[in-house]
A and B are shown apart, each in its own frame.
Chain A
């Protein structure tokens, strides 16, 4: 379990996150949603240990500030929003970068996990391609494969591992959005935990167990989507009057990911 208590983050003198407390349980997908600039990514970065912060952050009961970078790296992996790379790495080489710490670094496992991770993000056969020649969505999936391979087993030494994903489906087409969210769910079913910053409320409703709604650096609502997704919450958080489960006026087509089959 990841626990943050009274988390406050300031960047260049400006307080971005004000006393946020949240829990991300193993076996559950925790989604952080909220408008732009609400502190979602900053909260995620602080929990990842990447930003200096005040308050308590613990992963499986261990204070993250007392852990060495490699000790953190075998328990949690982080997918950043965007990554540009200046050098001509192949897809295989990028994924392999994830396999330098923990039990997966052993040579006999590297090739197998690399192939499995690429297959998991629907990029089997892409190992020999150059990263820079791929589309934005394909690059995002390569990065996800790298992050997955870093903590390939959802449980390590009896403790759960955590995927921290910052907008994991932002650049993906609808089929791959569903595939990646299902992948995250399977990780939870394996005993691990997932924290994802999300913009798509429908996918969040479909896949999240716990939903944290942020606004202005504070948590506005938190709980299972079925409880927190109300007309009032939408207006309070996003400043936009919307009806949950409302059907639009006739004439304008709409399509929901809920209806996808296979």
Chain B
């Protein structure tokens, strides 16, 4: 293979990366380099996301004015509100949501030993949707005090609880004699999703026009309307999951050889499965609760990174988190600016850009993956 080929396709057999010698087959270096690049990209994406938007408000001016303590009147109140109260929570929460969805995909794929697994498989999406619709249609029947206490949190709270409860139920169904069968969980997940869909359907049938509109808006999914309140509600749950999950990396590596092999290698398999499922349910539940149903690359992002850095979860958990956040903000920036001052649903952007790219990658690597 010529150097030219190696540079063009550094991951092909016999290329620079896979050269023989002491480091053959060791992708640690490229994985670490990838992480460094992704950290830088993440900072850039968050900064750009705060700096750009449909309005001409200048983030540099706003922050500069704050730092130098310039008089407030020099800066319009409108710009401050746009930068601080609209763009910042949107950028931070958008990043967290993208990170949560992509990392959860990597966790589920490792746990189910299947590159096509995604968080939706464990019932989170269907449960969250059911929770949200229940709250929209039947929330008015709750005691007024409860609704008042929940306030703006009512809908996200219901979605979060719905997702978590469905996941725990599935986990219980799939656990017998202290052993959780991931295959049973997968199959029961399909049944539970159908059931939740049917109940959601009944509720939609019962709903009045206003409720129908609320359901549709929630289901479309969007990063608009992110506030500091939502950030403080969902952010901590997502952050805890993002920080806990990397501790599962060695166990997830071992479990790719099978649950028995993981046990042989010293992994507490049952605890690993429980921690992974609850962390994913929490992170994805919180994300779906505040952003609605954003279809996103829980499959695509980990798959792309697996091609570059390999399936070692010590890197394959943090890297998808960072790339997921970056791509989410990138898609959101396009969604906000392409048809400004209107806004495209972000799901359209992620699907339009992501799907063809994913297909191209699949076709290119067909032989290696044995598909």
Q: Say whether, besides A80-B261, A88-B369, A128-B18, A93 and B27 are in contact (CB < 8 Å).
A: yes
Inter-subunit contact A111/B25 (CB<8 Å):
no
Please name all residues of chain A whose beta carbon is closer than 8 Å to the beta carbon of B113 when the two chains form the complex. 85-87
Which residues in window 98-138 of B have CB below 8 A to A? 113-115
* Contact B266–A89 (Cβ < 8 Å): no
Question: Is B19 part of the contact surface with A, judged by Cβ < 8 Å?
Answer: yes
How far does the alpha carbon of A130 sit from the alpha carbon of B12 in the complex, in Å?
Answer: 11
Task: Determine whether B339 belongs to the interface, using a CB cutoff of 8 Å to chain A.
Answer: no
Checking B266, B268, B311 against A100 with a beta-carbon cut-off of 8 angstroms, the contacting residue is B266
B25 adjacent to A87 (CB under 8 Å)? no
Count how many chain A residues have C-beta atoms less than 8 Å from C-beta atoms of the other chain: 42
Contact A72 B266 (CB under 8 A): yes
Neighbouring B residues of A76 by C-beta, 8 Å:
264
Residue B155 interfacial (CB < 8 Å): no
- Whether A130 touches B27, Cβ cut-off 8 Å, given contacts A70-B266, A90-B310, A100-B250, is no
Number of interface residues of B (CB under 8 A): 36
- Closest B residue to A111 by CB, please name it: B22
Known: A87-B311, A97-B254, A132-B370. A50 touches B263 (CB 8 A): yes
Contact call A127/B264, Cβ cutoff below 8 A: no
Contacting pair B25 A97 (CB below 8 A): no
Q: Provide the residues of chain B in CB contact with A83, threshold 8 Å.
A: 257-258, 261
B27 neighbours in A (Cβ, 8 Å): 90, 93
Residues of B within 8 A of A74 (CB): 266
Query: Contact between A88 and B310 (Cβ–Cβ < 8 Å)?
Result: yes
Partner of A45, one of B253, B256, B260, B267: B260
B265 at the binding interface (Cβ < 8 Å): yes
Best-surrounded residue of B24, B113, B266, B369 (most CB of chain A within 10 A): B266
Q: Point out the residues of chain B lying under 8 angstroms from A62, CB to CB.
A: none
Taking the closest CB of chain B, its distance from the CB of A132, in whole angstroms, is 6
- Residue of A whose beta carbon sits closest to that of B261: A80
CB contacts (< 8 Å) of A69 on chain B: these are 263, 266-269
Q: Of all chain B residues, which has the CB nearest A115?
A: B22
Task: Enumerate chain A residues within 8 angstroms of B22, measured Cβ to Cβ.
Answer: 111, 115
Set of chain B residues within 8 Å of A101, measured between Cβ atoms? 265-266
User: Cβ of A50 and Cβ of B25 under 8 Å apart?
Assistant: no
- Say whether A86 contacts B256, CB under 8 Å: yes
CB within 8 Å of A: which of B23-45?
A: 24-27
- CA–CA, A100 to B254, complex, Å? 9
Instruction: Tell whether, in the assembled complex, residue A73 and residue B266 are in contact, meaning their CB atoms are under 8 Å apart.
Output: yes
Task: Tell me if B306 counts as interface (CB < 8 A to partner A).
Answer: yes
For window 101-135 of chain A, which residues contact chain B by CB distance below 8 Å?
101-102, 111, 115, 125, 127-130, 132-133
Classify the interface of chain A: helix, strand, loop or mixed. Answer: mixed
Of the residues B19, B254, B266, contact of A128 by C-beta under 8 Å: B19
CA distance A73 to B310 in the complex (A): 25
The answer to the question of B368 belonging to the interface, with a C-beta cut-off of 8 Å to chain A, is: yes
Interface membership of A92, Cβ < 8 A: yes
For residue B250, which residues in chain A have a CB less than 8 angstroms away from its CB? Answer: 100
Asked whether A89 lies within 8 Å of B18 as measured between CB atoms, the reply is no
For residue A86, which residue of chain B has the nearest CB? B113
- Choose one: A45, A77, A130; the contact of B368 (CB below 8 Å): A130
Give Cα A205–Cα B18 distance, bound, in whole angstroms: 42
| Distance of A125 Cα from B19 Cα, bound (Å) | 10
Please tell me if the beta carbons of A97 and B253 are within 8 angstroms of each other in the complex. Answer: yes
A91 touches B264 (CB 8 A): no
Q: Which of A198-237 contact B (CB under 8 A)?
A: none
Q: How far is the CB of B295 from chain A (nearest CB, A)?
A: 23
Contact B266 A129 (CB under 8 A): no
What's the Cα separation between A15 and B260 when bound, in Å?
20
B73: Cβ under 8 A from any A Cβ: no
CA gap between A132 and B307 in the complex, in Å: 14
- Given contacts A78-B260, A87-B256, 5 further A-B pairs with CB under 8 A are A68-B268, A69-B268, A76-B264, A86-B256, A93-B27
Nearest 6 pairs of A and B residues by beta carbon: A73-B266, A128-B24, A92-B25, A90-B25, A87-B311, A70-B266
A-side interface residues toward B, CB under 8 Å? Answer: 45, 48-50, 52, 68-74, 76-78, 80, 83, 85-94, 97-98, 100-102, 111, 115, 125, 127-130, 132-133, 150
Some 26 contacts from A to B, beta carbons below 8 A apart, are A49-B263, A69-B266, A69-B267, A71-B266, A73-B264, A74-B266, A76-B264, A85-B113, A85-B256, A85-B257, A87-B311, A88-B306, A89-B256, A90-B310, A94-B257, A97-B254, A100-B250, A100-B253, A102-B266, A111-B22, A125-B24, A127-B25, A128-B19, A128-B25, A130-B368, A132-B368
